[in-house]
Structures are given as C-alpha cells and as structure tokens.
C-alpha cells in the first residue's frame, strides 16, 4: 500500500468518525431536503407576531425571519408553505416540509411522530378574555368555554389547570379570536407571544397570569438526522452571535422577555437587555 493511499484512507476514516461529510462546508451530505437546494418551511398565516402574512401578502414574523436566517447560513433558498397546526407534524414526517416556523411544544407523544431541534424557546401561555367579562386567573376558566387551536398540546395543559373547562377547538388563531370577540367563547388560551400581541392590538381584551408549559423546538423528520444536525449547529451559532436575540427584539413585545431557561441552554447567549433596539 503506497503512502498516498494510506494517507487517503486515514483521512476518510477520520471524516467518517467525525460525522456526516459537509457538502460545500454547509449542509451534511446525508441531509434530505424536500426540494434540493431549498429549505421548505411550513408556517401559519395568522400567528402574529411569530408567523403570519403581512400586508403585501408575504410570509412574515419572528420565526419566519429565524428560518430565513437558518436557510441563509446553510446556503439554501427558503420557501414558506402555509398550513394549519394540526396537519403540520404529520406532513413533516411524510416529507412534505423540511421543518416549520413554529415553536412546537415538545411532548413524548409528538416525539413519536417527529424529531426536534435543540430548544428555540421555553413555552409559556396565557388565557385571553374580554375586559367586560375578564378571567383573571386560569383556574377561573372552570365551567367556561375556552377557544384553543385544534391539535395544540396546550389542550391537556388547560384541562390540567382548569378541570371542567369546556374546550372548543378552532382551526387557527383568527377563528378563535373572532369567537372570543363575538362572545361565542369566554376565553382564548394560546402561547404568550401571541396572547401579548392580541391584547396589544385589541383594547377590549385582557390577559391572565403567565404559565410555563415546557420547552419548544423546530420539528424535523425522525429519519433525517443529518438535517437535524445542521439545524442544531446553525441554531447554536445564531443563539451565541446575537442574531436570535436581535431578531426577537425586532418582533416580540418588550413585555415578553426571553425565558432564563433559554439563556441557560446556550451559555454566552447575549441577553435581550444588552441589544440596542
């Protein structure tokens, strides 16, 4: 065996031991994409300020921006496809989307359907109600009708916090909001960022106390570990270089701080108060 062949074999052995080979130094060669050269991302059209359609009919929001920055870092184009929450995880499992601009609450049941990246948030939720019939505490929802997005992991959390609550599932935030304003339900239970936005935009609404619900992450197909590896690597980079914190400050209400648990997950992550608005 000549010296060149020995060196080549040694180099190959080291590369295999180190993990998937990176194509162009960006994406692992084994990562599977729905469309080659493109990150196909599911998003919601009505979850302002996280994921929505802007006045020009374009995808917009905090997590839309984050997914765009991830695609850029991987040298990929990005394509956003509107979907509802209930069908999103099965669609990722079935390779209709690569991931989603959703902070999906991680639960054991969901981990049987898809894999998840490292955390992108530690989910909190709030009950929104009308000021003319306020529900100050979530426990006050017992015996009342509360709107919630169909398929949400917040459903069992609400039932745990307010046993006897009447859960009414709606396809999206917009329909839940319409039902609340029309008096068809007494409250709306949703993530903290969305709840804060609803209260700020609708003066007739008010919010309850904040409750923690667990950590959230981006979903990816279980049988696509190389794509998960790439997403995890870019998430760590944008957490530590301040990109995530700056983007958060651009989109999220100042009344909603980044949870301390997220800072702890990424030691050295710039804190929100250090980022100039």
CATH, residue 82: 3.40.190.10
Q: What angle do CA 79, 82, 83 make, to 5 degrees?
A: 130
Q: Is residue 11 part of a domain?
A: no
Q: Reply yes or no on whether the pLDDT at 15 is more than 70.
A: no
Centroid of chain to Cα 231 = 13
CA 94 – CA 136 distance, rounded (Å): 42
Share of the chain residues as helix, strand and coil, in percent rounded to the nearest 5: 40, 25, 35
Encoded tokens for 11:
């180099």
**Residue 165 and residue 203 in one domain:** yes
Coil, strand, or helix at residue 160? helix
**Residue 82 and residue 194 in one domain:** no
pLDDT, tens digit (0-9, with 9 covering 90-100), for 201-245: 999 999 988 888 889 999 999 999 999 999 999 999 999 999 999
Peptide bond into 49 cis (omega under 30): yes
Across the range 35-57, mean pLDDT stands at 94
pLDDT the model gives residue 144:
96
- Would you say 135 and 127 are in contact if contact means Cβ atoms under 8 Å apart? yes
**Residue 168 and residue 138 in one domain:** yes
Q: Reply yes or no on whether the pLDDT at 14 is more than 80.
A: no
- Which class for 140: exposed (0-12), middle (13-18), buried (19 or more C-beta within 10 A)? middle
**Residue 228 and residue 246 in one domain:** yes
**Residue 32 and residue 50 in one domain:** yes
Domain that holds residue 223: 27-120+218-274
Q: Is residue 227 part of a domain?
A: yes
**Residue 31 and residue 160 in one domain:** no
Confidence band, pLDDT 50/70/90 cuts, at residue 254? confident
Q: What share of the chain has pLDDT > 70, as a percent? A: 90
**Residue 91 and residue 37 in one domain:** yes
CA 232 – CA 234 distance, rounded (Å): 6
Q: Under 8 Å CB-to-CB from 150, ≥6 apart: which residues?
A: 84, 85, 86, 169, 170, 171
Q: How many structural domains compose the chain?
A: 2
| DSSP H or E segment with residue 248 | helix 243-251
**Residue 141 and residue 171 in one domain:** yes
**Residue 71 and residue 156 in one domain:** no
Encoded tokens for 231:
């997403």
Q: Is residue 13 part of a domain?
A: no
Q: Is residue 3 part of a domain?
A: no
- Give the end of a domain, one of 169, 191, 215: 215
Q: Is residue 242 part of a domain?
A: yes
- Give the end of a domain, one of 190, 215, 240: 215
Give me the residue label for tokens 């804060």.
196
**Residue 194 and residue 227 in one domain:** no
pLDDT the model gives residue 23:
39
pLDDT the model gives residue 19:
38
- Give the end of a domain, one of 215, 233, 252: 215
Q: Is residue 201 part of a domain?
A: yes
pLDDT, tens digit (0-9, with 9 covering 90-100), for 147-193: 999 988 889 889 989 999 999 999 999 999 999 999 999 999 998 88
Q: Reply yes or no on whether the pLDDT at 267 is more than 70.
A: yes
Confidence band, pLDDT 50/70/90 cuts, at residue 46? confident
**Residue 268 and residue 133 in one domain:** no
Confidence band, pLDDT 50/70/90 cuts, at residue 277? low
Across the range 86-91, mean pLDDT stands at 93
Give me the residue label for tokens 């997914």.
67
Across the range 251-275, mean pLDDT stands at 91
Q: Is residue 21 part of a domain?
A: no
**Residue 109 and residue 223 in one domain:** yes
pLDDT the model gives residue 165:
96
Q: Is the dihedral of CA 57, 272, 122, 142 positive or negative?
A: negative
Q: Is residue 2 part of a domain?
A: no
Encoded tokens for 108:
């054991």
Q: Kindly report the pTM of this predicted structure.
A: 0.73
């Amino acid at each position: 065996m000549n010296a060149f062949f020995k060196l080549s074999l040694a180099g190959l052995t080291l590369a295999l031991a180190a993990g998937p080979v990176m194509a162009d130094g960006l994406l692992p060669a084994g990562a599977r994409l729905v469309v080659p050269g493109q990150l196909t991302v599911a998003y919601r059209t009505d979850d302002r300020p996280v994921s929505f359609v802007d006045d020009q009919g374009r995808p917009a929001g905090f997590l839309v921006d984050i997914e765009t920055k991830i695609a850029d870092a991987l040298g990929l184009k990005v394509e956003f496809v509107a979907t509802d929450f209930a069908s999103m995880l099965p669609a990722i499992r079935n390779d209709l989307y690569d991931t989603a601009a959703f902070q999906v609450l991680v639960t054991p049941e969901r981990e049987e359907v898809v894999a998840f990246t490292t955390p992108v948030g530690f989910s909190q939720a709030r009950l929104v109600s009308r000021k003319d019939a306020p529900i100050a505490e979530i426990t006050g929802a017992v015996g009342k009708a509360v709107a919630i997005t169909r398929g949400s992991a917040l459903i069992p959390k609400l039932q745990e916090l307010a046993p006897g609550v009447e859960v009414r599932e709606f396809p999206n935030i917009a329909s839940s909001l319409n039902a609340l304003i029309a008096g068809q339900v007494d409250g709306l239970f949703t993530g903290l960022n969305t709840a804060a936005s609803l209260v700020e935009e609708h003066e007739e609404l008010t919010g309850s106390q904040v409750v923690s619900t667990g950590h959230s992450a981006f979903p990816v197909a279980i049988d696509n570990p190389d794509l998960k590896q790439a997403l995890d690597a870019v998430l760590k980079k944008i957490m530590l270089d301040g990109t995530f914190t700056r983007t958060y400050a651009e989109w999220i209400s100042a009344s909603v701080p980044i949870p301390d648990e997220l800072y702890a997950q990424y030691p050295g992550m710039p804190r929100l108060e250090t980022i100039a608005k």
